Amino acid sequence: MLILASDTSLPILSAALLRDAALLGCVALEGKSSRNEKLLPSIDWLLSESGIDRREIDLFAITRGPGSFTGVRIGLATMQGLALALDKPLCAMSTHQAIAPSHGRATIVDDAGRGEFYVSVFEDGREIVAPHLAKEAKGIVVADYIQHHNVAAACARRAAEIVARGDGERYRDVTPIYVRLAEAEARLTK
């Protein structure tokens, strides 16, 4: 199975291409600014360097947050558009689920700003506590993880696990996971 995955929810934008368990290529770029200008060229580069036509892709995988509000929307729209145009399935998961190890219990912690953290808990790669805000938490710190791992590659591997166990339909939801209101929305409610 050929999987194209991306993550645009974090400060490092990533894209990866996997065939079965083999990583064919991946990209990681500063993504805080101009994600919309970097994602499609990154995907095009991966495909051309691998000599793969986009019509060969069997599955698209994407993270849906929590993370950057704009980044999440850009990634979801791009991958959903590609999947729709090529009539291929899309597997969307939380950014934390992409990062969570496949075995054992793990807490994923990401800086949410404003002195808070996004926190999720997983057991054997399956979410048992959904992303929520916390003032403090211990676990796998996303900022440390992205220094050594490609989140899109992790997302592709998790998508392969999901499809292999027959759960693909449960991961078609492309609703962004924001956890809290955007800064502008929070101001409007005051």
pLDDT, tens digit, 9 for 90 and up, residues 117-161: 999 999 999 999 999 999 999 999 999 999 999 999 999 999 999
Proportion of the chain above pLDDT 70, given as a percent: 93
Pairing assessment for the beta strands 105-113 and 59-63 based on DSSP bridges = unpaired
Beta bridge partners of 16: 5, 26
Domain coordinates of the chain in residue numbers?
2-102+145-189
Per-residue pLDDT at 33 exceeds 80 = no
Distance CA 91, CA 117 (A): 25
Predicted pLDDT at 186: 57
Predicted pLDDT at 76: 97
**CATH code that applies to domain 2-102+145-189:** 3.30.420.40
Mean pLDDT over 55-82 rounds to 96
Which stretches of 86-173 are DSSP H helices? Answer: 95-99, 142-148, 151-164
Predicted pLDDT at 45: 96
